């Protein structure tokens, strides 16, 4: 049975539904919705009030959905849809006779004839639609709902744009009524073809357990759900404001903005192009991050549309280009809101056991709101027909109250939707970071490349690019890369995350890597956690200090140092005193420097004295220099010594002349001290280190120890002894001596 089809079997039959959607949308745009039907009514000579009534009929028939939905379930969703879709196609073909009725029996009779066709068409259409929504829940697997909706939007949008473009070209600037009748005939063909295609879609079997006659209790049961009530209210507010502002938009663009008929019809094609470019992205994003943030944020951006209508120039050469841009922008934004709305409704809101009741009430709510909009709009336009003028850059005309109402309603709707439960989606505030943090375009490019990367080198490159974008949209791929079969990809992922933006998801993923049995990756993860700087990692890094692997112990210590968490100082001191590995002890020294643990200076000086490796001595001496103060000065001095040691030391010594000769600092006369400083500087400049050290030793002996900070008072005597013992063979002591004299002095 269809109801027992697997997801794979359902997916194989989805092309029938998509093909039916393509023919169906072509039928709708040619026969009923969009600017073609609206301009046709205007061609018949109907007033805006009469047109408003006709536009309201179709939405208002949605109120019968709570009654037709349960009957459709019992009769079979598929059977109901195909049967009533056939009836509405046949009835709408009667619109071809509307011009004859008007010319033969008059405008009032013509209006009554058109109204009867619209009423019957809308009743049959609503009955069919009350079946197609629950039917689609059966033939579309939930795990691809967002992507299916996106692909559906792309196909529907492409066909819509092509239909509108072709119809616009066919109608021309001032089309005769006969051309509209040709379009109605073509629409009939598309309608029949759509019915055939839908008949081959899976699912939709009759549900014998469904109630044959719904009761008020079953109809209103979903209203006990507070989430659903808020959902209905928010959507109704948006629909009333939006439908009121847009139902007469083709006439507004023609009569007020000054565009010809064919350009007015073509505007919808610009919207379709925007939808076409972004639908798949919005569907993918909804499936990935949840619907609510897209509902709220994309809906909030819709306020730009009514604002643009108030600003668009009238009867200008720029009117059409700006209108196309405005319509295209709407097409870019609107799929995010629409796909999010339906995904939240289908996936997060409807309980399976009451799906018919929820869908029926939602359909009725949409119909009521969309029906109120055109009636409201026709009344407002009639009452404000004398309104005209400008306020700053804003144009004032009979349509202005509608655009203002739309602006307010959209904002209210966005606020109401924001109060819905997250339902597993990311918070709205976090969603904003996808748009404004880092480089979203670079992240999307890297994301696409990631899913097409096959070779290891390409995957490594895309992982690096994802991190460099500093945008959270690629977090899932970065986290997935931590478990990639390739070691190199995993390692690159850790390093890249360490250089990426700070994010709780990435921190948690690195913490999990930290506890794996892979020493190389654990060590890299420790570094990355320290680099990110999230204090959440502190307890986990403290555990690493007890690892049996020295690399993990060392990197754990370094990471704790980068986090500058003083609460871990006792654990680091214990590790330093117990561990015999020089690399681990050097890592602890770096952590002491970052945590400003000055009490460890004597032990670090002793460690420096015993260290044999030059790189270790450099790191230990830098740690001691940092503890003395002004770490940036120590780093600059070390870097300059690497390239130009003599000139660097000479410059520092000569700069100290004034401070060291202060009476509070020097023991003996300042004349001898000045001479020693100058001779030391000249010797350093000539890179005559033995002579320079002799004079440096004299300078160190000539200063009063009490003129220095407590830390410097510990360092200076140790440096004197080290200079006597090692001379210029260990330049780290020269660096420490000069740095101590430079930053260790108390203020004079």
Please state the three-class secondary structure of 656-698 as a single string: CHHHHCCCCCECCCHHHHHHHHHHHHHHHHCCCHHHHHHHHHH
Two structure tokens written together for 281: 């992205």
C-beta of residue 305 within 8 angstroms of C-beta of residue 238: no
What per-residue confidence (pLDDT) applies to 325?
92
Mean pLDDT (whole number) for 667-673:
66
Do the Cβ atoms of 305 and 364 come closer than 8 Å?
Answer: no
Per-residue pLDDT band for 689 (boundaries 50, 70, 90) equals confident
The pLDDT tens digits for 98-154 are 999 998 998 899 999 999 999 999 899 888 887 777 788 778 877 777 678 778 878
Cβ(403)–Cβ(310) under 8 Å? yes
Share of the chain above pLDDT 90, in %: 13
pLDDT tens string 547-604: 888 889 999 998 988 888 788 889 989 998 988 888 999 999 888 888 888 888 888 8
For residue 186, the model assigns a pLDDT of 92
Listed in sequence order, the residues at least 6 apart from 214 whose beta carbon sits closer than 8 Å to its beta carbon are 66, 67, 69, 70, 71, 357
Per the prediction, the chain carries an average pLDDT of 83
| Residue 190 predicted with pLDDT over 80 | yes
Q: How confident is the model at residue 426 (pLDDT cuts 50, 70, 90)?
A: low
pLDDT of residue 598: 86
- Taking a C-beta distance cutoff of 8 angstroms, is the pair 72, 80 a contact? yes
How many alpha carbons fall within 13 Å on the CB side of residue 335?
A: 31
Average pLDDT over residues 438-463: 82
Dist. CA 457–CA 449, nearest whole Å:
12
CA 666 vs. chain centroid, Å, equals: 64
The tens digit of pLDDT for each residue in 143-174 reads 777 678 778 878 887 888 888 888 888 887 77
**Structure confidence by residue, pLDDT tens digits, 263-281:** 888 888 888 888 878 877 7
Q: Which residue has the tokens 């000139």?
A: 647
Residue 727 has pLDDT above 80, yes or no: no
Rounded to an integer, the average pLDDT of 350-367 is 81
pLDDT in tens, 203-221: 777 766 555 556 677 777 8
Model confidence at 23, pLDDT cuts 50, 70, 90, reads very high
Average pLDDT over residues 625-637: 76
Tokens read off for 716: 């200076």
d(CA 514, CA 494): 10
Predicted confidence at residue 326, as pLDDT, reads 92
What CATH number has the domain spanning 2-432? Answer: 1.20.1250.20
- The residue that leads in pLDDT, 164 or 437, is 164
What is the C-alpha to C-alpha distance for residues 357 and 74, in angstroms, rounded to an integer?
A: 13
What percentage of the chain carries pLDDT values higher than 70?
Answer: 93
Residue 100 confidence (pLDDT): 92
The pLDDT-based confidence of 2 (bands split at 50, 70, 90) is very low
Mean pLDDT of 678-695: 80
Distance of alpha carbon 118 from its chain centroid, rounded?
42
Residue 734 pLDDT: 79
User: Confidence class of residue 1 from pLDDT cuts 50, 70 and 90?
Assistant: very low
- Average the pLDDT over 669-697 and give the result: 77
Q: What is the pLDDT of residues 525-554, one digit of tens each?
A: 999 998 888 889 899 988 888 888 888 999
Q: Where are the domains of the chain?
A: 2-432, 631-743
Instruction: Calculate mean pLDDT across residues 712-741.
Output: 80
Question: What pLDDT score was predicted for residue 207?
Answer: 66
* Ranges 295-299, 400-404, 433-437, 497-501: which has the least confidence: 433-437
Specify the length of the chain in residues: 748
pLDDT, one tens digit per residue, over 464-517 is: 888 888 887 788 888 888 888 889 999 999 988 888 878 888 899 999 998 888
């Amino acid at each position: 049975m269809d109801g027992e089809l697997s997801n794979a079997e359902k997916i194989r039959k989805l092309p029938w539904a998509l093909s039916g959607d393509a023919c169906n949308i072509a039928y709708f745009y040619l026969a009923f919705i969009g600017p073609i039907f609206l301009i046709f009514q205007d061609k018949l000579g109907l007033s805006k009030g009469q047109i408003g009534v006709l536009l309201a009929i179709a939405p208002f028939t949605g109120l019968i959905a709570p009654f037709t939905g349960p009957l459709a379930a019992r009769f079979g969703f598929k059977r109901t849809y195909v049967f009533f879709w056939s009836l509405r196609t046949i009835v709408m073909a009667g619109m071809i006779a509307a011009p004859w009725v008007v010319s033969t029996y008059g405008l009032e009779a013509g209006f009554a004839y058109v109204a009867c066709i619209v009423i019957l068409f809308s009743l049959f259409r609503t009955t069919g639609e009350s079946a197609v929504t629950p039917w689609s829940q059966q033939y579309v697997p939930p795990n691809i709902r967002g992507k299916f909706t996106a692909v559906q939007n792309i196909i529907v949008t492409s066909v819509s744009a092509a239909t509108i473009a072709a119809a616009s070209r066919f109608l021309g600037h001032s089309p005769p009524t006969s051309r509209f009748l040709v379009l109605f005939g073509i629409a009939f063909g598309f309608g029949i073809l759509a019915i055939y295609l839908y008949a081959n879609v899976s699912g939709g079997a009759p549900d014998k357990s469904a109630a044959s006659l719904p009761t008020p209790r079953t109809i209103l049961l979903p209203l006990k759900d507070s989430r659903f009530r808020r959902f209905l209210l928010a959507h109704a507010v948006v629909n009333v404001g939006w439908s009121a502002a847009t139902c007469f938009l083709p006439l507004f663009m023609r009569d007020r903005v000054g565009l010809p008929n064919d350009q007015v019809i073509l505007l919808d094609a610009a919207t379709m192009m925007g939808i076409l470019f972004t639908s798949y992205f919005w569907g993918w994003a909804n499936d990935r991050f949840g619907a609510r943030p897209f509902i709220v944020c994309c809906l909030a951006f819709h306020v730009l549309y009514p604002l643009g209508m108030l600003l668009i120039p009238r009867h200008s050469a720029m009117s059409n280009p700006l209108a196309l841009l405005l319509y295209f922008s709407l097409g870019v934004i609107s799929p995010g809101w629409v796909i999010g709305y339906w995904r939240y409704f289908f996936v997060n809101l409807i309980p399976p056991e009451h799906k018919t009741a929820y869908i029926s009430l939602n359909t009725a709510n949409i119909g009521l709101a969309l029906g109120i909009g055109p009636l409201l709009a026709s009344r407002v336009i009639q009452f404000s027909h004398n309104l005209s003028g400008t306020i700053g850059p804003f144009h004032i005309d009979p349509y202005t109250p509608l655009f203002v109402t739309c602006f307010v309603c959209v904002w209210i709707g966005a606020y109401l939707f924001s109060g819905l439960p997250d339902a597993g989606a990311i918070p709205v505030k976090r969603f904003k970071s996808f748009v404004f943090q880092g480089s979203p375009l670079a992240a999307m490019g890297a994301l696409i490349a990631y899913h097409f990367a096959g070779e290891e080198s390409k995957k490594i490159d895309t992982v690096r690019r994802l991190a460099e974008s500093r945008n959270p949209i690629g977090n899932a791929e970065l986290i997935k890369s931590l478990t990639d079969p390739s070691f190199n990809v995993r390692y690159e992922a850790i390093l890249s995350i360490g250089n990426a933006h700070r994010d709780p998801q990435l921190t948690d993923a690195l913490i999990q890597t930290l506890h794996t049995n892979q020493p190389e990756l654990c060590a890299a993860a420790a570094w990355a956690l320290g680099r990110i700087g999230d204090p959440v990692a502190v307890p986990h890094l403290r555990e690493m200090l007890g690892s049996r692997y020295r690399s993990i112990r060392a990197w754990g210590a370094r990471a704790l140092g980068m986090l500058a968490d003083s609460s871990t100082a006792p654990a680091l001191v214990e590790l330093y005193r117990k561990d015999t590995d020089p690399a681990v002890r050097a890592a602890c020294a770096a952590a002491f420097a970052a945590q400003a643990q000055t009490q460890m200076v004597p032990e670090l000086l002793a460690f420096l004295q015993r260290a044999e490796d030059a790189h270790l001595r450099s790191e230990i001496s830098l740690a001691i220099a940092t503890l003395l103060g002004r770490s940036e000065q120590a780093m600059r001095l070390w870097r300059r010594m690497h390239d130009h040691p003599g000139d660097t030391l000479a410059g520092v010594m000569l700069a100290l002349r004034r401070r060291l000769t202060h009476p509070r600092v020097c023991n003996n006369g300042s004349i001898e001290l000045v001479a020693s400083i100058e001779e030391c500087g000249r010797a350093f400049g000539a890179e005559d280190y033995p002579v320079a050290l002799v004079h440096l030793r004299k300078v160190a002996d000539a200063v009063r120890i009490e003129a220095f900070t407590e830390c410097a008072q510990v360092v200076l005597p140790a440096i004197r002894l080290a200079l006597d013992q090692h001379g210029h063979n260990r330049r780290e002591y020269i660096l420490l001596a000069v740095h101590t004299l430079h930053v260790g002095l108390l203020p004079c």
